[in-house]
Amino acid sequence: MLQIRSSLYEKNHTGDCCLVCSPAYADTNCPTVTKADIAALFEQWDQSLHTGKPSEVAKNYADDAILVPTVSNKVRHTHPEIEDYFQRFLRLKPDGQIEEQNIQIYCDVAVNSGIYTFAVVKDGQPSEVKARFTFVYRKVGDRWLIVDHHSSGMPEKTT
Instruction: Give the span between the Cα atoms of 106 and 108, in whole angstroms.
Output: 6
**Where do the domains of the chain lie?**
1-30, 31-153
Quick one: pLDDT at residue 40?
Answer: 99
Alpha carbons within 13 angstroms on the beta-carbon side of residue 37 total 15
CA 10-15-19 angle, to 5 degrees, is 30
**What φ, ψ does residue 83 adopt, rounded to 5°?**
-60, -40
| CA proximity to 72, closest of 129, 145, 112, 123 | 129
Residue 62 · residue 78 · CB < 8 Å: no
56-113, pLDDT tens digit by residue?
A: 999 999 999 999 999 899 999 999 999 999 999 999 999 999 999 999 999 999 999 9
Quick one: pLDDT at residue 25?
Answer: 42
The CATH architecture annotation of domain 31-153 reads: Roll (3.10)
Q: How confident is the model at residue 139 (pLDDT cuts 50, 70, 90)?
A: very high
Cβ-based neighbours of 148, under 8 Å, separated by 6 or more: 65, 66, 134, 135, 136
Question: Residue 47: is its pLDDT beyond 60?
Answer: yes
Question: Residue 146: is its pLDDT beyond 60?
Answer: yes
Instruction: Give the span between the Cα atoms of 67 and 81, in whole angstroms.
Output: 9
CA 150-100-76 angle, to 5 degrees, is 10
Residue 114 · residue 102 · CB < 8 Å: yes
| CA proximity to 130, closest of 98, 89, 92 | 98
